[in-house]
Amino acid sequence: MNRPFAYGDKVLLLDNKQRRYLITLAEGAEFHTHAGLVPHAEMVDRAEGTIFKSTKGASYTALRPTLEDFVLEMPRGAQVIYPKDLAPICMLADIGPGVRVFESGLGSGALSMTMLRYGAEIVGYEIREDFLNRAKANVRTFLGEGVMDRYDARLGDAYAGIAERDLDRVVLDLPEPWQVVPHAMEALRPGGILLAYTPSITQAVQTREAMATRAWSGTRTLEVLHRGWYIEGQAVRPDHRMVAHTAFLTVGRFLG
């Protein structure tokens, strides 16, 4: 998207300490911090990468937010799935263009927008209306109205059943995904994939127990660790802090 900023665009502002501020450009609005203000009008018709000065002389670099940026900074009604897990989920579940996905536990929509970005067609169940509305709003805000025809998100309880049939994937972010496994066996086509995201290992164990039949193949559980590195001249070492455990990913293939 190589065009100047316009009103309505999302803009990520980075200060000299790499602190991040996500704003939406609006007529008459101003970006405020303790370091002064920048009128939104100054950013309109300017190119990505432009550096703006606040009224107190602070510098801010303006960029279009990536999906990772938006997931970390977007409004949320529930704890989001973080980028370090979003990409592995899409790889393990083999998400791609035209893949029919059933998703339950929409939260703030981070996983939905990632799978939609990969080209999936999603039917989503969420039991809380406030979470449902937040997820749909975040998806629409970042990806635009054009993806909403591939995002059928509605109020629903996956524990009670899955109405859809011949699904390619079932992706769950629920406290008790093992309750959905029998419904997934009715809803998935042979060769389909189920993936469950669970913060606790006991949740993963119960999910694996529910999948411990000949109907499932290649069932496995893993977690993704994220460690950054400090690189400054000849000083090279692992960061003192790392993003270690967030959740376990349990995945298996349905044989029918």
pLDDT above 90: residue 121: yes
Q: Which helix (H) or strand (E) segment is 190 a member of?
A: strand 188-198
pLDDT above 80: residue 32: yes
Burial class (CB within 10 angstroms; exposed 0-12, middle 13-18, buried 19+) of 13: buried
pLDDT above 80: residue 139: yes
Mean pLDDT of 227-242: 92
* Helices marked H in 107-252: 110-117, 129-143, 181-187, 201-210
Strand, coil or helix: what is 167?
strand
Mean pLDDT taken over the chain: 95
C-alpha distances in angstroms, 35 versus 20, 39, 59, 182, 189? 14, 13, 9, 56, 56
With a CB cutoff of 8 Å and minimum separation 6, the contacts of 66 are: none
> What's 195-231 look like in SS3?
EEEECCHHHHHHHHHHCCCCCEEEEEEECCCECCEEE
pLDDT above 70: residue 67: yes
Q: What pLDDT score was predicted for residue 79? A: 76
Strand, coil or helix: what is 147?
helix
Q: What pLDDT score was predicted for residue 75? A: 79
Q: What pLDDT score was predicted for residue 254? A: 98
Q: For residue 24, what is the DSSP state?
A: E
- Which residue segments constitute the domains of the chain, with CATH numbers given? 10-65 (3.10.330.20), 69-254 (3.40.50.150)
Mean pLDDT of 101-126: 97
Q: What pLDDT score was predicted for residue 70? A: 92
Structure-token pair, residue 66: 């990536």
* Residue with the two structure tokens 């991040």: 20
Q: What pLDDT score was predicted for residue 1? A: 63
114/181 Cα distance (integer angstroms): 23
Q: How confident is the model at residue 244 (pLDDT cuts 50, 70, 90)?
A: confident
The answer to whether the beta carbons of residues 151 and 135 sit under 8 Å apart is no
Torsion sign, CA atoms 101, 125, 188, 217: positive
φ, ψ of residue 209 in degrees (nearest 5): -65, -40
Q: Find how far residue 91's CA is from the centre of its chain.
A: 14
Query: How many alpha carbons fall within 13 Å on the CB side of residue 206?
Result: 13
With a CB cutoff of 8 Å and minimum separation 6, the contacts of 23 are: 10, 11, 13, 31, 40
pLDDT digits (tens, 9 = 90+) for 173-214: 999 999 999 999 999 999 999 999 999 999 999 999 999 999
Strand 151-155 relative to strand 229-232, pairing: unpaired
Q: For residue 80, what is the DSSP state?
A: P
Q: How confident is the model at residue 10 (pLDDT cuts 50, 70, 90)?
A: very high
